[in-house]
Structure 1
Amino acid sequence: MTDYQYAGLMSVYVNEKPQLLKRALKSVLNQDYPPAEFVLVKDGKLTEELESVIHEEHQLFERANIRFVELKNPTNLGLGRSLNKGLKACTNELVARFDSDDLNMPQRMTKTIEWFRAHPDTAIVGTQIYEFDQDERHPFDVKQVPVDYQHIIKQSVVRNPFNHMSVTFKKSVIDEVGGYVDVPLFEDYYLWLRVIHAKYPVSNLADTLVKAHVNREFAHKRGGLHYLKKEIHFQNLLVRDGFLKRSQYLRNILIRGTVRLLPANLLMVLYKFLRNL
């Protein structure tokens, strides 16, 4: 599959746990079909422990003949801006996203590249993911997303139709639609919508190929007026760009806005229910 080489793209910031980063990088290196290059963006100053992990893994990637590029932001710029910076350094057309605390199944990229070879017009391919907290051997959930194009389109007006940490995309398409835009919490979702509305084919594999590290207490970070304002801003953006009809906008604000204001102990339960609708 040497005709379908790809770049790996990751961003890491100071609060990442060194042991999770190390395992995430090893899961990239141990792919059955590893990347031709790997671009890692340091989003601001990192701890010595994180720098040590990166240095060690950098050497291992290079020994495996994988070009390893380190970029550094002088200050924390956020995920979207960091990924845009890293994307510019990628020299391959196919770019695979990897998160700094997730574990990738060895066959993830083999299956993904096989899809691109069979469907060369596809712009984005994602996968299903497991979610785990303390122990990846005991995931507490599977986050499923639609597989075929029509169901992806249908879901895209309600919620994110891709698992960001699982996607591989064509760099030229992402560049064409403007790359990641700084819309906190929604950088990836907004990007996928722009690709979809540019009429590019997109898909998800039915396979579950990433184990995503999720803090089960994350619900405490996803509620309140602060996040409600971000939600409303994003929904207004979608109406402005013609991605949502007014009726869809009102439905989203009613459901998603209400969720943002729920007590944290109810938020996780409802979150799991809504995403399986």
Structure 2
Amino acid sequence: MPEPAISVLMSVYNGEQFLAPAIESILVQSLTDFDFLILDDGSSDSSWSILQDYAGRDDRIRLIRRENKGLIVSLNELIAAATAPLLARMDCDDISMPDRFTRQVAFLEANPDYGVVGSQRVNIDEQGQELPMAGPDYALDHQQFLSNIGTESLLCHSSVMMRRDMVQAVGGYHAAFRHCEDFDLWLRLSNLTKLCSMPEKLVCYRHSADQVSKRHLTEQQIGTAVALAAYHERNAGRPDPTEALTALPPLDKLDALFGRQGMEKEVLAFVIPHLCYSKEAMQTDGLKMIGKLLQL
């Protein structure tokens, strides 16, 4: 069979609630030249039967099923299985607009110096109703993307289309950066290619009570801070101390990891402001981390 233009990558873990509209939003894309790789990461709900039903109706869907190994392993497995030159990410609870692929492929064809393009997003709730959430738009060019590093959200992960060879060149997603694996990937890719988002809203991003960013906020923010520190090491011409890690060390080992004093303090100073508005985070790690920062 001829190589498709796009390989769509979706990892599913107990995603039955929103899985059908997510899949259907891909199958009705105006650009039809894609294969749809979906990995069931050990779901215990009805996700697998839903996936089998759709695969039986559309031969562009390719299914993988195995025991639970987590999102990062799943995404790297999907990248390895992909054959198309372009990779389109899709989360199992979001919705892509019908012309998403058409617009993103056109952008990448017109801008060969860009390796990654995302889009703006519509925020929706669990019922699919639009949420009145305000915030800065994602960067429309690479220079603005670089300016946003450390201050703004860089890309909407489920809106992204990427050149496969560039993702492979930087080693895919790194296991050490659980719950912020996309942020770390964008930073590593920015040392190789240009990244930006299109001005159109090409995805609906679903907010729910069970989101990773709520359940794992502390770990996510620590990983984000360490990924930023590693980015600055690379830009300074120094080796990336996180490159071979499969897990981040405890905070009190960061000075040794980066080979200089003050890294633990720097990471705590970044993380704590992000925890202060989370009741759950403050009831668990937040107050302890504030005390540690004051001590340092």
Aligned to 1:92: 84
Aligned to 1:134: 126
- Alignment partner of 2:182 out of 182, 188, 213: 188
Q: d(CA) in 2 for partners of 1:30 and 1:95?
A: 17
Shift of residue 121 of structure 1? 2.8
Secondary structure of the 1:169 match is strand
Tell me: CA distance 1:235–1:118, structure 2 relative to 1, closer, same or farther (3 Å): closer
Alignment check: 8 A CA contact 1:123 1:201 kept: yes
Secondary structure of the 1:254 match is helix
Aligned to 2:250: none
In structure 1, stretches of 5+ residues that fail to align are 268-277
Aligned to 1:52: 49
Q: For 1:64-213, what aligned pairs fall within 5 Å after superposition?
A: 66=60, 68-74=61-67, 76-141=68-133, 144-182=137-175, 183-198=177-192, 200-213=193-206
In structure 2, stretches of 5+ residues that fail to align are 239-259, 283-296
Tell me: CA distance 1:228–1:213, structure 2 relative to 1, closer, same or farther (3 Å): closer
Q: d(CA) in 1 for partners of 2:196 and 2:147?
A: 13
Shift of residue 46 of structure 1? 3.4
Alignment check: 8 A CA contact 2:29 2:100 kept: yes
Q: TM-score, normalised by structure 2?
A: 0.76
Q: Rg larger in 1 or in 2? A: 2
Shift of residue 207 of structure 1? 0.4
- Alignment partner of 1:214 out of 204, 207, 216: 207
Aligned to 1:275: none
Amino acid at match of 1:138: E
Alignment check: 8 A CA contact 1:132 1:141 kept: no
Q: d(CA) in 2 for partners of 1:20 and 1:9?
A: 16
Shift of residue 139 of structure 1? 2.9
Tell me: CA distance 1:232–1:111, structure 2 relative to 1, closer, same or farther (3 Å): closer
Q: What per-residue deviation string (whole Å, max 9, x for no partner) do you get for residues 28-70 of structure 1?
A: 00111134211111112432x21121011112221xxx2x221
Amino-acid identity (%): 23
Q: d(CA) in 2 for partners of 1:19 and 1:146?
A: 31
How many residue pairs get aligned? The number is: 256
Tell me: CA distance 1:55–1:153, structure 2 relative to 1, closer, same or farther (3 Å): same
Shift of residue 77 of structure 1? 1.8
Q: d(CA) in 2 for partners of 1:3 and 1:227?
A: 36
Secondary structure of the 1:112 match is helix
Shift of residue 78 of structure 1? 1.7
Amino acid at match of 1:126: G
Higher RCO (Cα < 8 Å, 6 or more apart): 1
Tell me: CA distance 1:181–1:240, structure 2 relative to 1, closer, same or farther (3 Å): same
Q: d(CA) in 2 for partners of 1:59 and 1:243?
A: 52
Secondary structure of the 1:123 match is strand
Q: d(CA) in 2 for partners of 1:157 and 1:205?
A: 20
Q: For 1:262-273, what aligned pairs fall within 5 Å after superposition?
A: 262-264=277-279
Q: TM-score, normalised by structure 1?
A: 0.80
Q: What per-residue deviation string (whole Å, max 9, x for no partner) do you get for residues 90-141 of structure 1?
A: 1101010011000111011111111112112320010011111133243333
Secondary structure of the 1:141 match is coil
